Amino acid sequence: MPMKRRPGMTIPEFREYYETKHRLIGEKYLKGYASKYMRRFTNPTVDRDGELRDPEYDVFLEIWYPDQETMQACGNTLSAPEAQREIREDEENVFDTRVMRSYVVDECVSDLN
């Protein structure tokens, strides 16, 4: 899930909030379902034109489940009104929710040996 920080929030503020507050909400609801809850934070880099720019997204969230059934069970838990309220209220503090996207992905790995 690619996510962008809330407008006006610096990169250090975003990472601090995510790792000390929002992450804990995720762990609360994912515990017992997800086998991995990973955040991959992006860093500004120099583009091809030589300009240093912020990445389009600040973090890529990965949630791994052991199987489809467990993912659906977690989805049911996350759909409960109290979970939705807690998650959505906190998302407003940290993310630009207008550009949040979710995907289910298939993983393909090349054997380079």
Placement of tokens 């809330």 in the chain? 6
The whole-angstrom separation of Cα 62 and Cα 3 is 11
Band the pLDDT of 79: cuts 50, 70, 90. Answer: very high
Q: Are 89 and 28 in contact (CB under 8 A)?
A: no
Give the pLDDT of residue 63.
Answer: 96
* Tokens at 37, concatenated: 């809850």
Q: Are 9 and 99 in contact (CB under 8 A)?
A: no
Please enumerate in sequence order all residues whose Cβ is within 8 A of that of 77, keeping only pairs 6 or more positions apart, or say none: 29, 33, 83
Give me the CATH code for the 2-99 domain, please: 3.30.70
Mean pLDDT in residue range 88-111: 93
Mean pLDDT, rounded, of the chain:
95
Side chain identity, residue 63: I
Structural domain spans, the chain: 2-99
Helices 23-30 + 81-94 axis angle, to 10: 160
pTM of the model: 0.86
Give the pLDDT of residue 44.
Answer: 87
* Tokens at 7, concatenated: 């407008």
The whole-angstrom separation of Cα 46 and Cα 34 is 35
Band the pLDDT of 24: cuts 50, 70, 90. Answer: very high
User: For residue range 26-76, what is the model confidence (pLDDT) as tens digits?
Assistant: 999 999 999 999 999 999 888 899 998 888 999 999 999 999 999 999 999
How many helices and strands in the chain, by DSSP H and E? 4, 5
